[in-house]
Structure 1
Amino acid sequence: MKKSVIILSHIGFWLMIWFLIFTITNLIPMLLPSKDFNPLTNWEAYTSAALTVGILSVPFYIFFFYTKLIIKNVKFLIYPLLLIAPFFIGHVIWGENNSYKYMDALMTLVVILLFGFLGGLFQFFTDWFKKNRLKTELERKNFESNFALLRSQINPHFLFNTLHNIDTLIYDNQDKASKSLVKLSDIMRYMLKDAKSDFVELQKELNHLENYLALEQLRLKTEKFLNYRINVNADGLKIAPMMLIPFVENAFKHSVDSGTENGIMIDISLENKTLIFVCENRFDHSDTDKDKVHGIGLETVKKRLDLIYKTKHQLTINTDNSVFKVKLEIELNEN
């Protein structure tokens, strides 16, 4: 909680108490006969309410500043009690009417303890808001650093393999090698430039994904290993960048040998403004621990989905019969 908000909340609280006391002071003459009570002038009512607020603020701020110590160890409760004791003792000694002074002193003590409790409550909630805000800030910074790493990172194995494949193509198929270099350039440009925005055009995200798939296909032993379908009219829609690619990277990273058929299947469609992304890959159970660090990317994506799309997305991940399946539905925004 900001310091200005804390100060304003204190000022508002005491203004409310002053107004309440002032109102009660003006109502008393209407409720009691004049012989039992001498009405106060407006000025006397103002000053009387202000004086009462000043007296009540003493136990309030004593407990306000001692609450942290009391929470740590209840023995520190003795300090605020000792500081407010003179109010109680003074009321007993100097009470005007002996027959009622003990009752008046008890009522005074109750009011003092009440405002002391309110002071402690103010401090407790102030600390709670501060700690909660600090926790949220730390989580946000941690998330931002993870995402910055995720979107700026180019998998070195992917880059090495792609360059090696392009080098081979230069001798066998120069036209295909040239097109592959353009796709690699587009991937790097997207990751280093477009992905820095909070939202990008859906078509750019899909183009990035298709470029990635095209380069991955260069190293496949059979073209039938990868099957994908993108049936989307992305006009006017936007999506948070790098939202789909981690699932695809994960599929290639943990899939079976690329010489098999239907090792990876990807289907992307659009229903109204809801993007439906399905990615399946067959995997070998004995090889699932080969890269535990790779899961950090998926965890970051999950956090991003919860932060950006909240109730506007649904993510389900299932593992059944050596098939890892991801289904993601996102309600997209328009331009």
Structure 2
Amino acid sequence: MSDVFRSFRDFLWMLAGWLVLVYSSNLMTLIRFNEKTLRLVHINSVALGFLNFLLFYGCYRRIARPVLEKRRSPWLAGLLLIVLPAFTLLKYSFIQLFFAKDILSRGHQIINHQKVEVYTTLAEYFINGLWNNIVIVVAAFSFCLFRVWLQEEKKRALLQQQQMQAESGFLKMQLNSHFLINSLNSIYSLALMGSPEVVKANKTLTHLLGYMVDQPSDIAYRAPIRDEISYLQDFVTLQRLRTGFHEGIIFHIPDLLPEKNIAPLLLVPFVENAFKHGVSNRPGKPVTITLSCNEQRLLFSVHNYVSGQQRDKTGGIGLDNVRKRLQLLYPDRHQLDIRDTGAEYFSNLVINW
């Protein structure tokens, strides 16, 4: 029943659009407005317009769609060799029966000294009517081809979105696993030193993991900026517990934040990279994190001094994945500038809401 209802609804919408188009085009071609010309517009637009629509809709549903959408044998198009002449004869009979004087009348001639009204013959009408019906059939195929193209575009857009969704989820999974390994290493270091901060670090990590797990995989999802900053603060707390040197990390956050949302877990790799390869236990060389945002954009920068020790080989995927995620999530709406002088490392990110 739902398929029948959809087909009937589609029929009514197309009929309404057809009549509006025919009516408006016939009115625009009128040079003189009088009772006779308006009656002719009504006949061509409503009575004959409805007949022409039946040809259009029948060709669209029974011939064009099976040929173009379902890739059925083109022999169906051969039916037009029968349908077009038959429909032309049907339309001529309809006009002759109801509207002969309006459509077929060619005026009067004097025959045997008598005034006789002359009408268009079937042979004369057939050629013009056949060409008119061919135009309607071409319109039906064109309309069907347009709808097929729209459906294919919708499918391609859906597949592209699914591909981006899968790629974004994969990149986020890599970042999460990368973060988890580094966090566990930090807690392991505290445990080896017998630090009493292990319990607090474990609790903080639990909060971090809970936030990570709660984020949906939908590529269109955006988390409140306040939640993302709270996540960064927990991450910084974990690093301070690991180093035991709070002055080695400077975190600037504005007191007032706009009600904006951001793709989750997008900022933490920059901070993680600074702790991974920088110096955070010297008062003269702190890791500096600065975040500011307004109604137009977000500015996020991380600066650290580069450690002289050999870098951990497990840290290579973080920023590369962030670049890829930014291209997926904020195409043409972000700027990322990363500079490595050898002694210092700068990461500057701008996201336009």
Given that 2:18 and 2:53 are in contact with CA atoms closer than 8 Å, whether structure 1 keeps it comes out as: yes
Matched with 1:244 is 267
Matched with 1:267 is 289
C-alpha deviation, 1:314, in angstroms = 3.2
How far apart are the structure 2 equivalents of 1:304 and 1:227? 31
Q: Deviations over 1:222-259 (max 9, x none)?
A: 999x5533142145655434231122223444x26889
How far apart are the structure 1 equivalents of 2:258 and 2:34? 73
Superposed CA RMSD in Å reads 4.9
166 and 83 in structure 1: CA distance in 2 versus 1, 3 angstrom threshold: same
Letter in 2 for 1:230: H
Given that 2:279 and 2:286 are in contact with CA atoms closer than 8 Å, whether structure 1 keeps it comes out as: no
TM-score by length of 2: 0.63
48 and 144 in structure 1: CA distance in 2 versus 1, 3 angstrom threshold: same
139 and 218 in structure 1: CA distance in 2 versus 1, 3 angstrom threshold: same
Given that 2:23 and 2:45 are in contact with CA atoms closer than 8 Å, whether structure 1 keeps it comes out as: yes
265 and 85 in structure 1: CA distance in 2 versus 1, 3 angstrom threshold: farther
Verify: 1:101 aligned to 2:122, yes or no.
no
Matched with 1:12 is 13
How far apart are the structure 1 equivalents of 2:125 and 2:23? 24
Q: Count matched residues.
A: 307
Given that 2:326 and 2:334 are in contact with CA atoms closer than 8 Å, whether structure 1 keeps it comes out as: no
Given that 1:56 and 1:112 are in contact with CA atoms closer than 8 Å, whether structure 2 keeps it comes out as: yes
1:200-211 mapped onto 2 (5 Å cutoff): 200=224, 202=226, 204-211=227-234
How far apart are the structure 1 equivalents of 2:294 and 2:318? 33
2:81 to 82, 85, 93: 85
C-alpha deviation, 1:12, in angstroms = 1.9
Matched with 2:116 is none
1:318 to 311, 315, 338: 338
Unaligned runs of 5+ in 1: none
1:267 is paired with a residue of what secondary structure? Answer: strand
2:347 is paired with a residue of what secondary structure? Answer: strand
Matched with 2:58 is 58
How far apart are the structure 2 equivalents of 1:200 and 1:45? 56
325 and 68 in structure 1: CA distance in 2 versus 1, 3 angstrom threshold: farther
After alignment, is 13-22 or 43-52 more displaced?
43-52
C-alpha deviation, 1:17, in angstroms = 1.2
Find the structure with the greater CA-based Rg: 2
Unaligned runs of 5+ in 2: 93-120
